[in-house]
Amino acid sequence: MKIKKKVFIGLAFSLFIIACETTPTISIKVEGNSPTKFLIEHKYCYPSLQVVEIPPENGCKTHYFSDSNKILWSVNIKRDSLTNELTLITYGNTPESYIQKIPNGKPPVPLQEGKLYAVDVICSSLHGDSKLFIIRNGQPVEIEFGKCPSDVPNK
């Protein structure tokens, strides 16, 4: 009986380790240069990315996600392009392994100085990450959630 218990515990531990090793992970970083770039680190998932303009009336609230936000650009990775890697995506330039969903068939509107934006990256398994940013002096600057664009100093 002790051997069966040890085998069961060993098997359960092994399955736990395997599950942890294959859990989808994803994160995003806004690169501080122009044109705006997003660095996606993804593992075991099919990432999609969207850039959203957040109107001033939503910008300083603790909840930034609203129906009044406008999706400016949305891209999804092709299903045959599953990789575990870092992906650098430049705003408006759809990578070869992605498909642009919004806007359909044309480039997105340029990001504008002083406006508040969110970039959302989501795995097919519903894991995701979001960052807020503004364009300040032609450069993207990340903003902490809960902060206002006016809280970011001009450089």
Least confident residue range of 5-14, 64-73, 105-114, 131-140: 5-14
Domains of the chain: 25-150 (2.60.40)
Least confident residue range of 2-11, 57-66, 136-145: 2-11
Residue 100 to residues 8, 32, 112, 122, 126: CA-CA distances in angstroms?
47, 23, 21, 15, 19
The token pair at 20 is: 């942890």
Dist. CA 123–CA 109, nearest whole Å: 25
Residues 69-93 have a mean pLDDT of 82
Least confident residue range of 3-7, 121-125, 127-131: 3-7
Per-residue pLDDT tens digits for 1-59 = 556 554 444 444 443 333 334 455 667 788 877 789 888 887 777 788 899 998 877 76
